Structure 1
Amino acid sequence: MKLIYCVEDDPGIRELISCTLNTADFTVIGFEEPQSFLLELKKKIPDLILLDIMLPRTDGMTILKKLKQDSLYCDIPVIMLTAKSMEIDKVNGLESGADDFITKPFGVLELIARVKAVLRRSGKRQEERKILEFRGLILDYDKRDVSYENNPIMLTYKEFELLFYLMLNKGIVFSREKILQKIWGYDYEGETRTVDMHIKTIRQKIELSGCPNYIKTVRSAGYKFEE
């Protein structure tokens, strides 16, 4: 289920957005002001952000620019919410990295359609670049980069491939034999200790960066990456 953060100071609109998107099988967390939103963002990265332009103490455009300048958050799709209809606001927002604009008042069907469209486009971009993200841990397959909250994690070729395979299939338990066959290309029971050694090393390197251990051991079955 996709997670959406909604930053909107109007409680009525915030509740409308939450209820509407909940009915469309999205999980929505609402924020009245930017500070609580930014604190939660450090704990968990959402699949999409709905961001009002007019907010207390700061404005949505300033927040958008900060997000797009941060390598940890720059790939999160953002839809701006605005009561304004001036074209210059939309131009500035799109130039700053916004994925779409919704002008208030809006219809619930329009809201759902725009959110789904942006998520589809974002999904295609990530597939093309093979970027995986899970609670602050980011793996960029094309760049061969792994980081946790901007802290780089140096992995060997096989460690990288193994982590990518597990992250790509979150929640699925793979036996040591299956992993050996997929990553190393052969199936030999006596060599399954190779998998254990690589898992151990990946865990150590990830934890040194401050990242929690997301690779779980399933007794008598194998390994899986957290859901």
Structure 2
Amino acid sequence: MFLHRMLVVEDHPDMHRFYDTLLRKVGRQVALEYYLAKSVPEARRILKRQLVDLIILDWMLPGVCGLDFVKEIRAEPTHKDILIIMVTAKCMAKDCAEALNNGADDFMSKPFNVDVFLARLRSLARRKERPWQAEAPIECGGVRLDPSRGQVMVAGKEVHMHPKEMLLLEVFLRRPRILHTPRDLWDRGWAYDSENWEHVLVTTISNLKKSLGPKRGGQLECRRGLGYVFKD
């Protein structure tokens, strides 16, 4: 069984060849199955016949842009657990926020560091190697999380969250009233280095607070310069 399957969506010929060469080398060292698409329609056809764990997606694509494709992927329940990393020449904080708010897990700025890219693959492989175990629901401060079912209840009503929001919520619920540093939260939720990690983390926590609603979201406090605390 492959540890991970990857789909790369990139229309530029040079980048296409770069990914193909790089992933062939990686495939000699780890169990990796990958697919290359030059457009969103081609990527759609691949996803119809093959489940993948990771999508490397260029922002600027012909016809349908990468950001719109992220929204499309997240609207499909069977694709909710796919890790999506956007690759873009855009590097502003607002671009990071736009990508994350629409369902991306992270993004890399062009030109990106190959070592950082490979670190993401190793992180994915480690997560796939972990054995699945049923976990009991956690409840704290009016918020209930069932990790095994991927279900969040706030004040008795189900709330749908991005997987990364749910992962951070689990950290907070398991250790309420404890100060969590930004770096600790990043390492628990992503487990790889990223040049954009602070933007990604801040945006994900902001989205988590919105998902929890005004009252419960207010229980998640930012201690400026220190970290975050969930008060029950």
The normalised TM-score by structure 1 is: 0.52
Deviation at 1:69, TM superposition (A): 1.5
Q: CA deviation at 1:35?
A: 0.1
Alignment map for 1:83-102 (pairs within 5 Å)? 83-102=89-108
Q: 1:75 to 1:56 in 2, by over 3 A?
A: same
Assess, with a 3 A threshold, how the Cα gap between structure 1 residues 129 and 94 changes in structure 2: closer, same or farther: farther
Query: Any unmatched runs of 5+ in structure 1?
Result: 131-140, 144-227
Amino-acid identity (%): 30
Which residue, 60, 67, 70 being the options, matches 1:61?
A: 67
Measure the CA separation in 1 of the matches of 2:85 and 2:25: 19
User: How many residues align structurally?
Assistant: 133
Q: Secondary structure at the match of 2:77?
A: coil
Match of 2:14 in 1: 12
Aligned residue for 1:35, secondary structure, equals helix
Which one scores higher on RCO, CA 8 angstroms, separation ≥ 6?
2
Unmatched 5+ residue regions in structure 2? 136-146, 150-232
SS in 2 for 1:27: strand
| RMSD, matched Cα | 2.6
How far has the Cα of 1:102 moved from its partner?
1.1
Shift of 1:100: 1.5
Of residues 56, 71, 80, the one that matches 1:74 is 80
SS in 2 for 1:3: strand
1: CA distance, partners of 2:50 / 2:85: 18
TM-score (norm 2): 0.51
1:21 is displaced (CA, Å) by 2.3
1:110 to 2:135 alignment: no
For each residue in 1:24-58, what CA deviation from the matched residue of structure 2 results, as whole angstroms up to 9, or x when unmatched?
22222111110011011010111211011100011
How far 1:20 moved relative to its partner? 1.2
Alignment of 1:37-52 (within 5 A): 37-52=43-58
Give matches, 1:1-227, under 5 Å.
1=2, 2-25=4-27, 26-120=32-126, 127=132, 142-143=148-149
For residue 22 of structure 1, report the CA deviation from its aligned partner.
2.3
Distance 1:122 1:54, change over 3 A: farther
Q: 1:104 to 1:128 in 2, by over 3 A?
A: farther
Aligned counterparts of 2:13 and 2:94: Cα–Cα separation in 1: 27
Amino acid at match of 1:12: D
CA shift in 2, pair 1:80/1:37, >3 Å: same
Query: Is the Cα contact below 8 Å between 1:9 and 1:32 reproduced in 2?
Result: yes
